[in-house]
Structure 1
Amino acid sequence: MSAFGALPDTFIEKVLQFGELVHLEKGELLFRKGERPESFFIVLSGDITIYDDTDAGRHNIRTTDIGESLGFPAMIALRPRMFSSVANCDCLVLRITSQHFAELYEWNLPQFAIFYMNLSRDMSRFLRNCAGVSDENDAVSD
């Protein structure tokens, strides 16, 4: 699971304890473009597409995998959400508020740093997709 990579069970359990489980049905919106971001989400089951409605129609930007975060860039930037997201099937996501995120920092800074790096990695993948770059066949080698 991307957001939880390299984290001990104790930290993951604390994230789950702080978070709120949200059940989505197929076709249900998780968030809308323009909303004020007070949280971000981690996909626990199912998959969610992040998209933008344009004059030319819906432009799908990225479909998440289990363990990926979404909504993190807007929360960190303190700016309205730039895109919307919809469940492609019945999904379970973990909602983490900005307050709970700060409490994780206070609870265990070294593990929070790993968590933040994982979320930043997800954000980087998302930004690449926004630029039209695919993740497929994009392995880094020495």
Structure 2
Amino acid sequence: MIPPKPQFEALADPESVLPILEKISFLGGITDEKRALIFQYFQVAHFAKGAYIAKEGEEPSHLYIIQEGQVELQITDRSVTVSKRSFHVGDCFGEAAMLSLINNTASFVAAEDCTLIMLSRRNLNKLRSEAPDIFCQLMVNLARDLARKLQYTDMLLLKKQPSLSS
């Protein structure tokens, strides 16, 4: 059975994000007042277990934060789909593809029923126009997060490489 398409709605209750706020690193260092403004640009959607959140090859449309549930990153190679990573409450994903303007290089699938807080590209651009200082702070935080993820990936790749001295 194909899971139903999610319905997007405004983040009507920003208070609902408070329990996971400290886990959302790209909102670090942003005052409560500015967070309240940022949350006006976010949406919420519920995805049933097995639903595709974003598909490999599609144009990215959102940055996602997991409020409830778990999401799997899946990569398909030669018709074989492999789960490469799990994302949990407070984790952010989709930011690299959305910011780089390249199509998704992986799929994201709901590993269980989940609730996602989302920032669309359109709303991110709206934030850039309407609150450039907050936009800049978000971009710096996202750049730091992506740099950490890249550093972690580099470390994993280096561990898999044969030693140059052998």
| TM-score tier (shorter) | 0.7 to 0.9
1:75 aligns to what? 98
Cα distance in structure 2, aligned partners of 1:91 and 1:63? 13
Name stretches of at least 5 consecutive residues in structure 2 with no aligned partner. 1-23, 158-166
Cα distance in structure 2, aligned partners of 1:69 and 1:10? 21
What are the Cα deviations for residues 87-136 of structure 1, in whole angstroms up to 9, with x where unaligned?
A: 122211122121211222233333322322222233334445655729xx
Q: Structure 1 stretches (4+) deviating beyond 6 angstroms?
A: none
1:13 aligns to what? 36
Map of 1:1-142 to 2, 5 A cutoff?
A: 1-55=24-78, 57-128=80-151, 133=156
Name stretches of at least 5 consecutive residues in structure 1 with no aligned partner. 135-142
Cα distance in structure 1, aligned partners of 2:73 and 2:151? 13
Percent identity over the alignment is 23
Aligned length: 134
RMSD: 2.5
Name the SS for the 1:50 alignment partner: strand
Name the SS for the 2:44 alignment partner: strand
Please tell me the residue identity of whatever aligns with 1:17.
Q
Change (3 A) 1:126 1:27: farther
Cα distance in structure 2, aligned partners of 1:50 and 1:36? 16
Name the SS for the 1:58 alignment partner: strand
Report the Cα offset of residue 15 of structure 1: 2.7
Name the SS for the 1:18 alignment partner: coil
- Larger Rg computed on CA atoms: 2
Report the Cα offset of residue 17 of structure 1: 1.6
Name the SS for the 2:88 alignment partner: coil
Q: Which segment is superposed worse, 112-121 or 29-38?
A: 112-121
Cα distance in structure 1, aligned partners of 2:26 and 2:62? 15
